[in-house]
Amino acid sequence: MGKITVETCAIAGLKVITPAVFGDDRGYFMETYNYNDFKEAGIDQIFVQDNQSASRKGVLRGMHFQINYPQDKLVRVISGEVFDVVVDLRKGSVTYGKWHGELLSAENKKQFFIPKNFAHGFLVLSDYAEFAYKCTDFYHPNDEGGIRYDDPDIGIEWPIPQGMELIMSEKDTKWGGLRAYEQEHGVR
């Protein structure tokens, strides 16, 4: 190993990965993904799709998941800074309904491994951010689910600076909360 450092989180299954960065006066080099290193760290998934998005300051995307085709995700920021958040939606999990957030940036180069059955979203804190992620299943547009980013039953502590106006898709403003999710999906 040695090419990555892996930190576990309070919610089982979540992992923060920091790659080794080799720099000199020309810039830097790092491996963002190596199957063997990740497998040794307990992340033995096959990723089948890579996605990338660009957003401006104040954009909040989330909280998203796929219902019947859940995905493991490996997320990172390649430009700018975001506050990345997940909510545990795993049936029977002792941390069901709990959230965890990580500051991801081009500067800290951290990656966040998110197992299946977590809702996921992020808030852009820099003027501009590019967000990239790997998924273990393909995107199915008719399989989207979501929960409100500001559901008081979850209580996510978003680091929203005073005066920041949130920019969200219409879809993301209409998700129900955790209780609506539970009723719709027969959870708990």
Catalytic residue among 120, 133, 149, 181: 133
Task: Give the helix/strand (H/E) hosting 36.
Answer: helix 35-40
- The yes-or-no answer on residue 64 being catalytic is yes
Q: How far apart are CA 66 and CA 10, in angstroms?
A: 23
Q: How far apart are CA 133 and CA 5, in angstroms?
A: 18
Catalytic residue among 33, 64, 69, 96: 64
C-alpha closest to that of 14 among 152, 91, 118: 118
Question: In this structure, what token pair is assigned to residue 134?
Answer: 């790997």
- The yes-or-no answer on residue 133 being catalytic is yes
Q: Are 43 and 7 in contact (CB under 8 A)?
A: no
The per-residue b/e assignment along 119-131, b for 16 or more CB within 10 angstroms, e otherwise, is bbbbbbbbeebbb
Catalytic residues, by residue number, are: 64, 133
